[in-house]
Structure 1
Amino acid sequence: MPLWLQTTLGYTATQTGLLLVPIAVGAFIAAATTPLLAEAWGTTWVIRFGLLTEIIGLVWLAAVATSEVSGWALVPALALYGFGVGTADAQLPSLVLRDIPVERSGQGAGVQTTAQELGSAMGIAVIGTVLFTSLAWQLDTSLEDLGITAGDHETTTSLVVDSAGTAITGLEGEMQAIANDALSAATRNAALTGAGFLTLGLIATISLRNRREEHTEDAHASTEGNQHDEQH
């Protein structure tokens, strides 16, 4: 996001930081509302809701991410994504630790944190690869269509990709516009890739039972057992 915002949209570092504030605001709102949602819906459903909100936020971001988009058009998507992150992440520890004995809670928390860090590292690697592979392919194809010779467009593509897009500001005219469009397309692909992984996470929660549902089933089974005993 910072690369795209500063290189393509022309924001300064300060403006970029301010534009990313809605993510924090969304997470802050989630911190206030998540306990109430967890009490009403149960932990599992809150996590599903958070993941779904993150997916919608990233898809929304991908839908509006062009080289001419206004910063204000990005705010709702970023805030929604931040709300989803705050909602899902806040409930993960309780979901992981709820069936672990108290004397092993430290080990459980350590495993959960390690898995989360590994997932973050892998996500950065995969989404970063998607971003720069998309940028190289899109830019190479566009420059070729423009009639630039093979050697020249390969040199330009390598310069832009190796600089993580920052070299785009040194290009001129139509070539700069093409490079900006290519980075915007790569950003959209990266956002959709993130949404895809979140969708897999959401699907994985199907196997999780809601603690609220378990308590209801246990209470129902206990009631039936008592009635059966009374009949005997």
Structure 2
Amino acid sequence: MTILFVPGFMADSTLWDDMVALLDAPRPLQFANLDTGDSIPGMALAVLDQAPADFVLVGFSMGGYVAREMARLAPDRVQALALIATSAREDSPEQARRKASALRQLSSARFSGLGRASVTASVHPSRSRDEGLIERVRAMSIKLGKDVFARQAAIQRDSDIDVLSEIRCPTLIVAADGDLLRSIEEAKELVAGIPDAELAVIPGSGHMIPLEAPRALAETLSGWLKKTRTA
């Protein structure tokens, strides 16, 4: 069965390269993008339109919001769900303020990718001077460009805590113990809300788990997928 990967904010399919090279799981693999759609439901419908008849779904960060919406829209098609470094909470006032400020600056400036401060906040503090890692994150945003940034930054992420129980497929929640953007508490809220969901915590990683801890993530997903297939 196809495994469909959905990236996060200003990320593309290269987010998954290191991890899928280590993944012990059936093929084919399919990689969605979030460069169309002006809302979480709109993105979910766009990805579903390109998805196979049924599939295992893996969503990262903002892609986790999209993936949950997909699971609710097409429960007969989503056979299992993995949510990585994501949350069921709405945008906080501070997050909304930062996004509004970024959009105002964007209208009068040339887009040159995500800023260094925002990228370093997304990785483990021990990796804040890892230039190779920082540039990989920035390169994805530069490739996607100004229009995609404007569209994604304008999207309001609403809480779906009250409807998490509608997700009925086997679900894995993956969090990182050094994630400065999404807390373990937020991961536990997902586990509490989705029936029979499991939690895995990746040590020594920040928010960008697929890039920071590809082997640990691959092993976690591989083990869960095997268990799901034999359940």
The TM-score normalised by the length of structure 1 is 0.22
More strand by share: 2
More helix by share: 1
The TM-score normalised by the length of structure 2 is 0.22
Structure number with bigger Rg: 1
Larger RCO: Structure 1 or Structure 2 (Cα < 8 Å, ≥ 6 residues apart)? 1
